[in-house]
Chain A
Amino acid sequence: MPQTILRTAGLCKNYRGRPAVDHLDMQVEKGAIYGFIGRNGAGKSTTFKMLAGLARPSAGQIELFGQPLTEAAARRRLGVLIEDTGAYPGLSVQENCRLKAAALGLEDEKTAVQRVLEEVGLQDSARKACKQLSMGQRRRLGLALALLGSPDLLLLDEPTNGLDPEGIREVRSLLLRLQAERGVTIVISSHLLGELEKIATCYGILRAGHMVQQITAAELDARCRDYIALQTSEPHRAAAALEETLKLRDYEVLPGGEVHIFGTADPAAVTAALAGAGVPVQGIGAHRQELEEYFLALMGVEEDA
C-alpha cells in the first residue's frame, strides 16, 4: 500500500474574511510527482505557503510524513521553492547556499553546496552575486536552496518560471532523476501544462481555493478523449448536419469555426455527411485531448455548473 507523504484535511485560509483556500483535501503518495494545477489566484501559492509552515491555516490539518506539520523532524525533510528565490542579493550564489546549509546544520557544507549547484547547473556562477543573476539563474538558485539537505519532499511553486527551453528541459530531467534515484516526492505547480504532463504521476486541480479533482496520470489518460477537429466557415450548419445525418450529439462548437466531435465517429463519414449537406470543410483530423484541454474543459464545466 503506498505511503502517504502529505495529507491535508479541510484546509482553509481566509484573507480578511475572503477564502483563498477552501476546505482543501489533498493527498500525495510517496514517490509521486504531483502536478498542482489551477488558474492564477486559485490558491496554489497560498496552499504551498501553508504546507511549508509559512502561513497559518485558518482551519484544517496538515500532515507531513504521517506527523503534524508542527513536528520539527518532519519539516526538516521538506525542500521549498515558493515564489521568489529568497536569496540575499549582495551575497554570492555559493554564500547563499552555505547560509542555508549552516541553518540545516549540514556536516560537510562545502560538498553539499557544490553538489546542488552542479545539479542545477550553477557551478560556474557560484561566485556571482545574486543581484547579478538572470531570472532563470535565480530560479535555478531557488531550486538549489530547496535541494540542500536532500529533502524527501519538494514543494516547487512554478520552478520553471523564467527558464529558457533548455533550462526547462534540464529541470524536468533533474526532477525525474530525483524521483527515480532518491524516491523524492515532488509537489509542483506550473502553468506550463504541457511540461507538467511529461513528468506528473498525478494531479490536483484547484479552482477558487477548492480541490476540483485529484486524478492519477493513468486516470487522466483514460479520461482524455479522442476527438475529430473540424474546421469550417459554417460551424452551426455543420453541427446541425452532424446531428441529423450521423445522429452525433457529443460535440463542441468553438470560436473561430472549429468543431470538436467526440466519440467514435469516422472522419470520412463526417466529411461525406457534411459534403452531402453542402457545408464547406476547410480541414479535418483526428486528435487526442491533452491535459491543457482537459483542464480548460473541467474549469468550463465547473463554472457552468
Chain B
Amino acid sequence: MLELFRMDMRRLWAAKYLWVMPLCAAGLLWGLYALLDLTSDPEMLRAMAGQGAEITAEDYAARQALADMTLLGYLHQAMFGGNMWLLGVGLGAGAFCVEDHTHGALKNFLPLLSRRWPYAAARAFALLALTAAMLTAAFAAVLMLAPVSMFDGLGGAPLDWLALYVSALLLGWAYALGCALLADLVRGEGWTMVLVLVFSLGVPVTLLSAALEWLHLPPLADYTLFATAYTCVEPLFEPAAALRVALTGLCWGAVYMAGSIAVLERRDAA
C-alpha cells in the first residue's frame, strides 16, 4: 500500500494537481475578495451612479457590513456559503481518480495486487493530501489578506480557526472519497465530472429532502455531507456542531471507502 501511496503522491505532483488545485483555491478566494472590495467601494459606487447605474442605500451599506465581518467569517462564507469548498474538492478528486480508469492505467497496477483495498486505501490517503493542500492554500490565502483587508481583523480564537480547518478537511475528504466512488462506478471522464457537478450543487440532496418531506419521513437529508457542510459548519467553534460534522464526515467517508472497495472487488478492471 505504501508503494501505491508513493505512486499516487508522485502523480499528484507530476500531473500538477498538488499545486494547481491549491493555487485555484487561493486564487478564487483572492478573486472573490477583490470583487467584493471593488463592488462595495464607495468611490466606485459613486462613479457607477454618475454613469447612470441605479445604486441604492443598501449598496452603500454593504461596505459597512463587510467591514464588520472578520477574515474568519469571510473564509467560512466563501467556502461553505454556497458549498464552493465541496465543489472544488469534488472536481479535483473526480478528475484525479477517473484518470486511472479512462486511460487504462489501472491495468498496470492491479495485477500487482491480490486484493483491491490497498489501491483504494492508498488513493484515500492521496486524496487526503490533496484536500489538505487545497485547504491549507485557502487558509494561507485568507491570512495573507490580513494586512490589507477591509475586514475587521482576523476574528475568532485559534481554536475557531482550527475547528474550521478540521471540519473542512473531514467533510472535504469524505466528499473526495464519494467522488472516487463515483469515478469507480462511472469510469468515464465526462460523466464523472458532470455527476460531480450535479452532486456538488446539491441537486440530489434537494430532491431527497423534498421526497422525504412528501413521504412524511424524518429529515434524513440533513445528515448528508452537503447539508452538514451548509448548516453545521460554523465560523466559531461549537462542540455539538463540530462533533456532528466530525461524525458525519467520518461515517460518509467510511461508507464511500467501503463502496469503492466493493465496486473494485466485484467489477472487472478492464
Contacts and interface: CB of A to CB of B under 8 A. Distances in A.
A105 B2 CA distance: 9
A56 B108 contact: no
A76 B15 contact: no
Contacts of B103: 84, 86-89
Contact of B268 (A55, A90, A98): A55
Contacts of B107: 52, 54, 80, 82-83, 86
Contacts of B110: 52-54
Most buried by A among B6, B106, B266, B268: B268
A102 B3 CA distance: 6
A193 interface: no
Contact of B10 (A52, A53, A102): A102
B100 to A, nearest CB: 9
Contacts of A49: 268-270
B105 interface: yes
A54 B268 contact: yes
Contacts of A89: 103
A112 B4 CA distance: 18
B111 A103 contact: no
A104 B104 contact: no
Contact of A95 (B3, B14, B106): B14
A78 interface: yes
A145 B10 contact: no
B104 A53 contact: no
B15 A90 contact: yes
A155 to B, nearest CB: 9
B56 interface: no
Interface in B97-133: 99, 103-114
A5 interface: no
B210 to A, nearest CB: 36
A86 B114 contact: no
Contact of B99 (A56, A88, A95): A88
Instruction: Name A's interface SS.
Output: loop
B270 A87 contact: no
Nearest to A90: B15
A72 interface: yes
A175 B2 CA distance: 32
A168 interface: no
Contacts of A98: 10
DSSP class of B's interface residues: helix, strand, loop or mixed?
helix
Contacts of A84: 103-104
Interface string B229-270: 000000000000000000000000000000000000010111
A100 B106 CA distance: 10
B46 interface: no
Contacts of B112: 72, 75-76, 103-104
A20 to B, nearest CB: 11
B185 to A, nearest CB: 17
A173 interface: no
A78 B110 CA distance: 11
Contact of A54 (B10, B14, B105, B270): B270
A215 B6 CA distance: 44
Interface string B6-23: 110011001100000000
Nearest to A86: B104
A71 interface: yes
B114 A70 contact: yes
B104 A85 contact: yes
B97 to A, nearest CB: 12
Contacts of B266: 56
A55 B107 CA distance: 10
B15 A88 contact: yes
A133 interface: no
A226 B214 CA distance: 82
Nearest to B111: A52
Contacts of B113: 53, 72, 75
Contacts of B2: 105
Interface in A120-151: 145
Nearest to B269: A54
Nearest to A149: B112
Interface string A48-80: 010011111000000000000111100110101
A102 B7 contact: yes
A61 to B, nearest CB: 15
15 contacts: A54-B106, A71-B114, A80-B108, A80-B111, A82-B107, A82-B270, A83-B270, A86-B106, A89-B103, A99-B10, A100-B109, A103-B109, A104-B112, A105-B2, A145-B108
Question: What 6 A-B pairs have minimum CB-CB distances, sorted nearest first?
Answer: A86-B104, A55-B268, A105-B3, A102-B7, A52-B111, A54-B269
Given A99-B14, A103-B3, 14 more contacts: A53-B110, A75-B112, A84-B103, A84-B104, A86-B104, A86-B107, A87-B103, A88-B11, A98-B10, A100-B109, A102-B7, A102-B10, A105-B2, A145-B108
Interface of A: 49, 52-56, 69-72, 75-76, 78, 80, 82-91, 95, 98-100, 102-105, 145
